[in-house]
């Protein structure tokens, strides 16, 4: 790797902190203390209408022992030829995580960025962006709100690393290259659940939520779980206001040879005077990060998102060895916003830019169906699967932009919102895009040598169809209609109990980049782009502590223009790296979670000789996380928590002239579990960005764009949960 800039001091400091905490445990908490915590969150009912239900939590309860691998269903971590981590609801609650982004702060292979020009959460895995549009909900794309997903909806957050078109189908937002994220809905556990949580955080943000669940009928076969939440008030950022309203209902039923589940939900998320991303003019240096609590956003900026969604899933056992499943879902989304992204003009921090208003309406329909069967041919076992999927998005858009807004990053100036002309009707937008994806896939997982060797082979035939329309006139502006087959091969070898060695070859399929309107061939349509991945790795789990290591190489085609302005898909982005993950009980009373990623993301054959060999925008050479939880000896129910995040330097431009410095963030907290009468009470307090560090957290996330996002300031979060 080129100049890896390995953060020895930061990682060593984190390890020393954790070890110091462990060394102070003269009378360590017995293992039973961890088990007591696990019992309070174990969900024994199926969360996805599957025969086996959710994979159980691993030691420590923060991650699970398996996760969904698309059409392969729930697969044990040690049996999977891929790298994946599933974060549990216990971790979500204990860390007071508000959104998916907060959960993924625990993942050393993921960094959180933001959508292009808006406030959409975006996740960078192995140096490739995964938009929240491309997250799956119980295996279905496009069901949950596309900009922000509240954690009250979720039982687990599952991260699958690497190309995954075979497993999940092509992602509607053109992602799925560096990884994917699947969100698992909540289900009623066996024991009745009645919980209320109230909290407050810096800036006066107030929080109230309730989580209710019951099971009914013979053998408690039918369950219902209701979640409601409200957040309202200021944040640690000056003058910023956030509001969240959420309601969801999940039901499930387990019959003798069938299982059903369904979800319906509503989420409203509104931001007022939220701090925007920052663009950079070419040729200037990356400006000094402003005070983390400052707000250079205009007072008229807002973003309002409302979504209604629902899914249904069923599974039936045709025989002891054959199971069929089907699922369908729908979402209607409404977004309205008025935005401004400051563009830094000089080293003094002066900014320009324009106002951009947008009205968007989404209608998503999606579904899948399939069959899995188990059989044997001699000494070889087979798990066969056939799956078909379909996705349909109708997007309506209108927008308005213009004006000249002048301010300064360090001394902001409030500018009245300029009047800007609209394209389309902001109160009733026209259809501007239709996306239709369909596919069929087959696979066979062969098992040899008493299941110590597992070989997965498969392929998916994918159709990608998209039609664009002008927002003002409704006239068709372009059409894409192509198909391709993506194969997969994965091998797992388990030489001994608790150890798995694996390798895979997988591909991601995305719509090809299109020529610009002023290129020499603006109407050319290219075949889908295949991103090709090779990966080898190892996993270890002794029942108390687990770890994984992976080496990967991913190559993604890129569009370039030659000297004659002829566009072709002949460039390449090549990302190579090493990932290390750890989890579980390092010793009684001490739980660790984290790891390290080393990344070499390189531009190749770019068409600009000066950029060949340069780093990719927004891809740090290293990132490391380490979180620790320590149960204080002698004080039943008291736990101290801490986490360190370290991210290496990264570039905001393809020429590698605009460089963001590396940054480190420290978090700390305390949790106390007690009883009030016969009721369980959990008190939690945490401090995010303990040292109040001012830093640019990310660069880019949209192809070719290097916009910056400022890290959040020191934030105090306090909450209390009462089970009654």
* Mean pLDDT, contiguous 10-residue spans, the chain (724 residues): 38 34 35 37 53 90 96 96 97 97 97 92 95 92 95 97 95 92 95 97 97 94 97 98 98 94 98 97 96 97 98 96 97 97 96 97 97 95 97 97 97 96 96 97 97 97 95 92 96 97 96 80 85 97 97 94 85 96 96 98 88 95 98 96 98 96 98 94 98 97 92 98 95
CB of 471 within 8 A of CB of 490? no
Q: Is 173 contained in some domain?
A: no
Q: Which residue has the tokens 């003058």?
A: 239
Q: Does residue 307 fall inside a structural domain? A: yes
3-state secondary structure of 29: coil
Q: Is 473 among the domain residues? A: yes
pLDDT at 26: 32
Number of domains in the chain: 1
Nearest-angstrom CA–CA distance, 107 and 53: 24
**CB proximity list for 703: less than 8 A, separation 6 or greater:** 513
> Dmax of the chain from CA atoms?
79
Segments forming the whole domain that contains residue 679: 8-167+181-588+599-723
Dist. CA 315–CA 49, nearest whole Å: 6
- 578, 579, 580, 584 alpha-carbon torsion, rounded to 10°: -170
Tokens describing residue 604: 């190749």
Q: Residue 548 is encoded by which pair of tokens?
A: 């994984």
Distance set, CA 100 to CA 1, 82, 459 (Å): 31, 22, 30
CA separation for the pair 710, 603 (Å, rounded):
26
CB 523 within 8 A of CB 551: no
CA–CA dist 704, 654 (Å, integer):
7
Q: Which helix (DSSP H) or strand (DSSP E) does residue 655 occupy?
A: none
Residue 433 neighbours by CB under 8 Å, 6+ apart: 393, 394, 395, 397, 466, 467, 468, 469
Helix (H) or strand (E) holding 58: none
Alpha helices, H only, 84-233: 89-94, 100-103, 165-168
For the record, the structure tokens of 389 come out as 């999927």
* 428 contacts: CB under 8 Å, gap ≥ 6: 398
Please state the separation of Cα 137 from the chain's center in Å: 11
Picking from 98, 31, 95, 32, the residue whose alpha carbon sits closest to that of residue 63 is 95
Q: Which residues pair with 535 in a beta bridge?
A: 504, 552
Q: In this structure, is residue 2 part of a structural domain?
A: no
CATH number, domain containing residue 252: 2.40.170.20
Per the domain annotation, does 1 fall within a domain? no
- pLDDT given for residue 223 in this prediction: 95
Q: Which two tokens stand for residue 300?
A: 């008229």
Does the pTM exceed 0.95? no
Nearest in space to 478 (alpha carbons), one of 441, 437, 452, 512: 512
Q: CA angle, 627 as apex, 179 and 642 as ends, to 5°?
A: 140
CB atoms within 10 A of CB 199: 19
CA distance 87 to 92: 8
Residue 371 lies in a domain: yes
**Quick check: 433 and 469 in contact, CB under 8 A?**
yes
Torsional sign, CA 564, 565, 570, 573: positive
219 three-class SS: helix
What CA–CA distances, in Å, run from 493 to 375, 452, 564?
Answer: 20, 6, 51
In a domain, 593, yes or no: no
- Looking at residue 235, the DSSP 8-state letter turns out to be -
Closest CA to 310 of 288, 330, 282: 330
Contact yes or no for 155/186 (Cβ under 8 A): yes
| DSSP assignments along 270-315, one per residue | EEESPPPPBEE-TTPPPPPPPPTT---S-TT-EEEEEEEEEEEEEE
* 3-state class percentages of the chain: helix first, strand second, coil last, to nearest 5: 10, 55, 35
Count the Cβ atoms, other than its own, within 10 Å of residue 378.
5
Please report whether residue 470 resides in a domain: yes
CA dist., res. 223 & res. 216, Å (int): 6
Q: What are the Cα distances from residue 312, in Å, to 138, 253, 323, 637?
A: 10, 12, 17, 39
Cα separation, 558 vs 10, in Å, equals 35
Residue in the structure block whose two tokens are 């069923």: 314
Q: Structure tokens of 428? A: 């009733």
Q: How far apart are CA 280 and CA 257, in angstroms?
A: 59
């Amino acid at each position: 790797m080129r100049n890896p800039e390995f953060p020895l001091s930061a990682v060593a400091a984190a390890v020393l902190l954790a070890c110091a905490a462990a060394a102070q445990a003269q009378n360590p908490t017995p293992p039973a203390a961890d088990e007591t915590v696990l019992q309070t969150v174990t969900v024994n009912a199926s969360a996805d209408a599957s025969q086996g239900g959710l994979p159980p939590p691993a030691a420590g309860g923060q991650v699970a022992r398996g996760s969904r691998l698309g059409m392969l269903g729930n697969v044990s971590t040690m049996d999977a030829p891929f790298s994946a981590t599933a974060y549990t609801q216990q971790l979500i609650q204990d860390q007071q995580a508000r959104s998916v982004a907060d959960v993924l702060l625990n993942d050393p292979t993921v960094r959180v960025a933001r959508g292009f020009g808006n406030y959409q959460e975006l996740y960078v895995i192995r140096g490739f962006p995964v938009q929240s549009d491309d997250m799956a909900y119980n295996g279905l794309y496009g069901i949950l709100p596309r900009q922000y997903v509240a954690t009250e909806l979720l039982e687990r957050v599952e991260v699958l690393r690497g190309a995954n078109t075979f497993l999940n189908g092509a992602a509607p937002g053109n992602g799925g290259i560096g990884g994917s994220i699947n969100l698992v809905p909540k289900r009623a556990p066996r024991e009745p659940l009645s919980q209320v949580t109230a909290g407050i955080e810096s800036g006066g943000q107030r929080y109230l939520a309730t989580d209710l669940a019951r099971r009914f009928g013979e053998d408690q076969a039918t369950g219902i779980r209701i979640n409601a939440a409200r957040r309202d008030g200021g944040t640690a950022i000056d003058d910023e206001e956030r509001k969240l309203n959420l309601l969801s209902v999940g039901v499930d039923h387990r019959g003798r040879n069938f299982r059903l589940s369904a979800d319906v939900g509503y989420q409203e998320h509104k931001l007022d005077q939220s701090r925007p991303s920052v663009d950079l003019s070419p040729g200037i240096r990356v400006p000094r990060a402003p005070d983390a609590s400052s707000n250079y956003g205009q007072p008229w900026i807002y973003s309002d998102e409302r979504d209604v969604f629902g899914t249904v899933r069923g599974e039936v056992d045709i025989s002891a060895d054959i199971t069929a499943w089907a699922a369908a879902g729908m979402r209607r989304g409404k977004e309205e916003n008025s935005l401004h992204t400051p563009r830094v003009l000089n080293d003094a921090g002066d900014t320009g830019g324009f106002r951009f208003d947008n009205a968007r309406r989404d209608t998503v329909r999606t579904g899948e169906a399939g069959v899995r069967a188990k059989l044997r041919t001699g000494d070889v076992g087979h798990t066969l699967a056939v799956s078909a999927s379909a996705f349909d998005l109708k997007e309506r858009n209108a927008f308005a932009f213009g004006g000249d807004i002048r301010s300064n990053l360090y001394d902001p100036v409030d500018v009245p919102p300029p009047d800007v002309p609209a394209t389309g009707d902001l109160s009733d937008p026209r259809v501007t895009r239709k996306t239709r994806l369909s596919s069929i896939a087959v696979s066979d997982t062969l098992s040899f040598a008493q299941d110590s060797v597992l070989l997965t082979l498969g392929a998916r035939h994918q159709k990608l169809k998209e039609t664009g329309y002008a927002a003002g006139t409704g006239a068709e502006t372009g059409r894409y209609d192509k198909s391709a087959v993506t194969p997969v091969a994965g091998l797992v070898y388990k030489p001994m109990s608790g150890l798995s060695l694996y390798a895979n070859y997988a591909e991601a399929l995305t719509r090809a980049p299109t020529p610009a309107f002023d290129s020499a061939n603006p109407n050319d349509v290219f075949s889908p782009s295949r991103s090709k991945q090779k990966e080898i790795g190892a996993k270890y789990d002794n029942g108390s502590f687990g770890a994984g290591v992976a080496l990967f190489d991913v190559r993604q085609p890129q569009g370039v223009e030659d000297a004659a302005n002829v566009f072709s898909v002949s460039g390449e982005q090549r990302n190579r790296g090493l990932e290390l993950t750890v989890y579980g009980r390092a010793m009684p009373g001490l739980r660790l979670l984290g790891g390290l990623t080393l990344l070499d993301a390189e531009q190749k054959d770019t068409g600009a000789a000066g950029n060949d060999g340069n780093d990719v925008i927004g891809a740090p050479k290293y990132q490391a996380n380490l979180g620790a939880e320590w149960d204080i000896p002698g004080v039943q129910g008291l736990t101290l928590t801490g986490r360190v995040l370290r991210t290496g330097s990264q570039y905001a431009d393809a020429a590698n002239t605009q460089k963001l410095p590396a940054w480190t963030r420290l978090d700390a907290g305390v949790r106390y579990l007690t009883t009030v009468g016969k009721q369980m009470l959990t008190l939690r307090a945490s401090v995010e960005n303990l040292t109040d560090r001012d830093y640019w957290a990310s660069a880019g996330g949209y192809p070719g764009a290097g916009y910056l996002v400022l890290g959040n300031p020191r934030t105090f979060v306090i909450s209390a949960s009462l089970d009654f």
